[in-house]
Amino acid sequence: MGCSTSMYAVGRRKRKPSVPEVVVYVPSMRIPVHSDLPRALRGLIPQGLVDRLACLRNQIVLVAEDTGGSATSELRRALEEYLSLLIGLTKKEHGLEDLVEFKWKNLEDEKQENSVANSWFEILSVIHMMAMLTLWEANSMMIPKDSGSGVRVLSSDCKRDAVDLLLKASGYLEFCVREILVRIPPEIKKNFSDHLQDGVLEAISIQALGLGTEIQLGLAVESQKATLSVKRRLACEQLIYFGQAYHCLSTTDTNHGCAKKLLWFIKWKFLEAKAAAYYYHGIMLDKGNDPASHVSAVCCFLAAEELLTESKKACLSFSLASPVTRSPPLWGSMKHLHQKIPEVASRKSQMYGYLLEEEKALQALPDLPDFQLSLRPDDFVLPEIDPAWDNGKWEIQSQSLKEHLKDCEDEIETE
């Protein structure tokens, strides 16, 4: 069977260092490192099956290294085909779950590497890579290709497509937490990089839903048909998502690496969402006729203005956290609110200043309404196992597992 190694072995591009722009947070991509599948599986499964596993994995390695992960369509096809083959290694009846040592590295930090002899770890890593590719696509979709004028224009369809990608990525990661991590022994998981920690995976999954809601809020702001109550609900939902994502990191070490960068992103988006929620809640309250409603509304506007200031600081901290990134120009709902919130806070404070003095006892910040969350991760299930694993059709030389392991030891000793 021909291998794809030759496709990318010559003339690999050296990626120029750049500071990427971030609309959608995408952790550094992990990619596989060469692992000796043929040696570990020799004599246990048909050679053709071994070759397919090895060649598909090598193809993923070479394409990812050559393109920096930007060849999303080609990588996704290879990952999906590889995943259906890989499932066979996890079946207890085959007895192969812990035979192959799988190696992965961070694409941006060549020194960071996980090496684990566990097939569920490999499945986790493959689906994690599929999620990162999907987030990368969503981020690219939210950055216009031609924005030299400084004015960013994205179609509504483009934004809705980005939301669909975020739900898909969230589904991948939610599946990893719910179905895969529970199958991996704790002594193996404790050595995982922070990219694969339960709290980090869950936080990235939930914050993707928050970003999807932020895009929906931006669409509502642009729509003349969207009511004020709809905008408030979306802002409050966005706040809840980022609050949940923040909570997921409470048991994770966030002093360095991916978790630290993620924490600052979530703080930034949480503060923006809270500012939006208080602004729209204040507008709703200000429609009341009694003085107490106006006082509460002004409190909301002032809180929103202060939160907006804090969000700018969190955005800067996120951008400077390693690896350094660029935050985009103001877009969506925030482009509108960065102008409206200070303007309304100033105008309403002057208008109702006398009430603020008279009703000091009523100046407590009102509670935000609670809403049922609208977005859910897309459902993801493992693909059907590849028909090549039908061992009723296998024709291999009879060899016991004990003999196979002894052969491997003998080979190592002679090297």
Identity of the amino acid at 92: K
> Which of these, 295, 309, 303, lies nearest to 279 by C-alpha position?
303
Alpha carbon distance 161, 208 (integer Å): 13
Q: φ, ψ for residue 178 (rounded to 5)?
A: -80, -35
Q: What pLDDT shows up at residue 11? A: 38
Check if the beta carbon of residue 127 is closer than 8 Å to that of residue 178.
no
Q: φ, ψ for residue 21 (rounded to 5)?
A: -90, 140
Q: What pLDDT shows up at residue 246? A: 96
Long-range contacts of 115-119 (CB under 8 A, 24+ apart): 116/188, 116/191, 118/184, 118/185, 118/188, 119/86, 119/89, 119/90
Which residues neighbour 325 within 8 Å (Cβ) at sequence distance 6 or greater?
19, 20, 21, 22, 318, 319
Q: φ, ψ for residue 33 (rounded to 5)?
A: -110, 150
Q: φ, ψ for residue 256 (rounded to 5)?
A: -160, 170
For the chain, which ranges sit under pLDDT 70? Answer: 1-17, 110-112, 146-151, 356-363, 391-415
Stated as kind and residue range, the H or E segment containing 104 is strand 102-106
Same CATH fold assignment for domains 21-140+155-196 and 229-367: yes
Using a 10 angstrom Cβ sphere, with 0-12 exposed, 13-18 middle and 19 or more buried, the burial of residue 227 is exposed
Which residues neighbour 187 within 8 Å (Cβ) at sequence distance 6 or greater?
none
Q: What is the pTM of this model?
A: 0.88
Using a 10 angstrom Cβ sphere, with 0-12 exposed, 13-18 middle and 19 or more buried, the burial of residue 400 is exposed
Check if the beta carbon of residue 319 is closer than 8 Å to that of residue 25.
no
18: left (phi over 0), alpha (psi -120 to 50) or beta: beta
Check if the beta carbon of residue 133 is closer than 8 Å to that of residue 75.
yes
Q: What pLDDT shows up at residue 411? A: 47
Each domain of the chain, given as residue ranges in start order, spans 21-140+155-196, 229-367
Q: φ, ψ for residue 31 (rounded to 5)?
A: -130, 155
Q: What pLDDT shows up at residue 405? A: 54
Q: What pLDDT shows up at residue 375? A: 97
Name the token pair of 138.
């969503």
Task: List residues bridging with 104 in a β-sheet.
Answer: 32, 114
What CATH fold (topology level) applies to the domain 21-140+155-196?
1.25.40
Q: What pLDDT shows up at residue 257? A: 80
Alpha carbon distance 283, 301 (integer Å): 8
Alpha carbon distance 11, 28 (integer Å): 24
| CATH annotation of 229-367 | 1.25.40.280
C-alpha dist (Å) from residue 221 to 57, 367, 397: 45, 23, 67
